[in-house]
Amino acid sequence: MSETNEKKVYTLEFFGRELKVEVGQLAKQANGAALVRFGDSAVLSVAVVGEPKDYDYFPLMVLYQEKMYSVGKIPGGFFRREGRPSEHETLNARAIDRPLRPLFDENFRNDVQVINTVMSVNPDNSPEIAALLGSSLALGLGGVPFHGPVAMVNIARVNGQLICCPTVEEALQSDIDLTIAGTKFAVNMVEAGAKQVSEADILDAIMYGHEQIKTLVAFQEQIIAENAKPMIEVTYQTVPAEIDEAVRALDAGRIVKAVVIQEKLERGDAIEAINEEIRTTLEAQYKAQGVDKDDIVKNLFFINRVLEAILVAEVRRLITEDKIRPDGRGCDEIRPLAAEIDLFERTHGSALFTRGQTQVFAATTLGPLRDSQLIEGVTLEDGKRFMLHYNFPQFSVGSTGRYGSPGRREIGHGALGERALLQVIPSEDEFPYAIRVVSEVLESNGSSSQATICSGSMSLMAAGVPIKAAVAGIAMGLVKNGDKVTILTDIQGLEDHFGDMDFKIAGTKDGVTAIQMDIKVDGISREIMQEALEQARKGRLQILDVMLAAIPAPRKELSKYAPKVKIMRINVDKIRDVIGPGGKIIQSIVEKCNQVKIDIEQDGRVIFMHTDVYWIDQAMKLVAEIVREVQVGEIFTGKVVRIEKFGCFIELWPGQDGLCHISKLAEKRVERVEDVVKLGDMITVKVTEIDEKGRVDLSRKAILESLKK
């Protein structure tokens, strides 16, 4: 450790990179701040705590901001400055929020903001790892009461070898892409994509990652111990005993009876009717007692908390002790399933998947590669040819609400579905299309992201996308009451909200393609996680049976409304000949062939797309004529396109012409070119020579002489 200008610097060698933390110099008016350097990447993390709020939730806001100066770029757009958070930034903010949030006391209601600003980026040194480390440090250094520290690592597997903090090259070769976060005691967040990997291999990677997290947590503990501010004094919003007693007396066990109503809306209405009666009764009592209006509002807030506590306790007791779920299912039982395809004529592929009271429609659309999503960020600038967009309208839960651009939750659920299906998408060479899947949640009672994976997979197969295998998703839950632990298959809304674990697993019959896990309790053992994975595998296979009954394999033919694709390869030196000056040649082909779409790749691939194969074939013939090589001795009939004093130029095919010198226009001497040919005339010529620069010499004279013979 060294100290310079009030700055303290701590270093740790971590998998071949220097991890450096600087405290005490930057953002000193915040409660806590840390600058984390991981190799060449650097993130400034700042935590600020505000006043307590009368909310029924914890007002934590986590931001992750990538500044373009971090990679020496000026932002695009009219204003040339960073705008709203990108999808990548939103997903990273969620990945930081998810492991932090459960570490705060359930009664903590102070405003907390954690801001991560990416100052420098080397793609091989994950700024996301630095951001969560910095966030945890900023909270710890600021004396914020939470059960940290917490840290994150990325894990890959190349040739069977697990790698912590892989480089970009290693990540591309890996069959596991795992992000894991947790404390020194347990894992509490997992995000993973995998190429049909076994559950056992995924579990090994998670356990390996947790061992590396312990090193980062110990590093933080040293820094916090030496630099932390005094713990902030917080007044937790505990429910007054007299309110708790009054609510429970009025309830008299009625909520307990309502919990076991199996139909979601009926159960919700019954519980809300009881709650409303209790609120109205107590509010009337407070008014009769002359209680101040503001105090009545506060008391109603506490009443709602007691009502929820009664509901939570009963749901958890039923599951762990009586092994009864709110809808009457067994712990490993999946809700009724239904699958259907081809709902609409004009979509390229569509499917509807229903699981209990969760219903998701998915549509697949195919387009040219130019329709790929352009991703511009600090770590990459690339085109994404497979996209999945998830929409969750309020009517799906019988509510009214805002409609507009997707929120964090919709972006996160869409990313999970996209990751699960991406593993089975054919390569660009196998299937040269941009592919978009849109998920419309029509009805929801939990696990809509997993239903999205099921309907999305079926819609891809219905569209004729040759995916490697069908993919199904299932959400597992866990409820822990003391030493009693119960694992639930296919959790619904109540179980998700009141449970201790949300473990989403997607995969094929052969292995896992995606995982998302969030754990609210102190931790679960390897054995419990293994049991959950195995229970999920059995459930996944059951769901796949229903899906494959609706569509056993990807269709061999595309929809008649979907664009068809053919590819030809040309010499890269011929690309500009096909394009022509100012795009003139390629545009003329497009116009001649009924607006066929033509994409030319830098490697010489020419991709033709149209709903009618006839026009693709016509365009391919025209391109083939342009790129063909002229041979000496060939005979062409072409149009005179230019006349000079020394001869005329003949177009052999679009983009290729040759010179017929005045001396080779006729058998006798010619004084003026115009005496023999005029602009636009069609004449027959023979190729007599091609020079080293590719210029073609033609002769009409040779044709005339051959006719005499």
- How much is the pLDDT for 374? 79
pTM score, whole prediction: 0.84
Domain extents in the chain: 2-227, 241-322, 337-550, 564-627, 635-708
Q: How far is CA 497 from the centre of its chain?
A: 24
Give per-residue pLDDT as tens, 513-570. 999 999 887 767 888 899 999 999 999 999 999 999 999 999 999 998 999 999 999 9
Please provide the average confidence, as pLDDT, over all residues in the chain. Answer: 91
Fold of the domain built from segment(s) 635-708: OB fold (Dihydrolipoamide Acetyltransferase, E2P) (2.40.50)
Q: How many Cα atoms occupy the beta-carbon half-sphere of 265 within 13 Å? A: 10
Rounded to an integer, what distance in angstroms lies between the CA atom of residue 604 and that of residue 592? 22
Give per-residue pLDDT as tens, 336-361. 999 999 999 999 999 999 999 999 99
Q: What is the CATH number of domain 241-322?
A: 1.10.10.400
Give mean pLDDT, residues 155-173: 95
Query: Which has more pLDDT, 653 or 151?
Result: 151
Greatest alpha-carbon pair distance for the chain in Å reads: 125
Count of beta carbons in the 10 Å neighbourhood of residue 598:
23
Rounded to an integer, what distance in angstroms lies between the CA atom of residue 427 and that of residue 155? 24
For 562, counting Cβ atoms within 10 Å of its Cβ (0-12 exposed, 13-18 middle, 19+ buried), the class is: buried
Fold of the domain built from segment(s) 2-227: Ribosomal Protein S5; domain 2 (3.30.230)
- How much is the pLDDT for 517? 93
Strand partners, 365: 436
Tokens of 462: 């219905």
Fold of the domain built from segment(s) 337-550: Ribosomal Protein S5; domain 2 (3.30.230)
Nearest CA among 154, 215, 164 for reference residue 12: 215
Rounded to an integer, what distance in angstroms lies between the CA atom of residue 112 and that of residue 143? 12
pLDDT band at 380 (very low <50, low <70, confident <90, very high): low
- How much is the pLDDT for 143? 93
Q: Do domains 337-550 and 635-708 have the same CATH topology?
A: no
Domain 564-627 top-level CATH class:
alpha beta
Contact (Cβ atoms closer than 8 angstroms) between residue 553 and residue 457: no
Give mean pLDDT, residues 450-460: 98
Rounded to an integer, what distance in angstroms lies between the CA atom of residue 444 and that of residue 41? 41
pLDDT band at 5 (very low <50, low <70, confident <90, very high): low
Q: How many Cα atoms occupy the beta-carbon half-sphere of 199 within 13 Å? A: 20
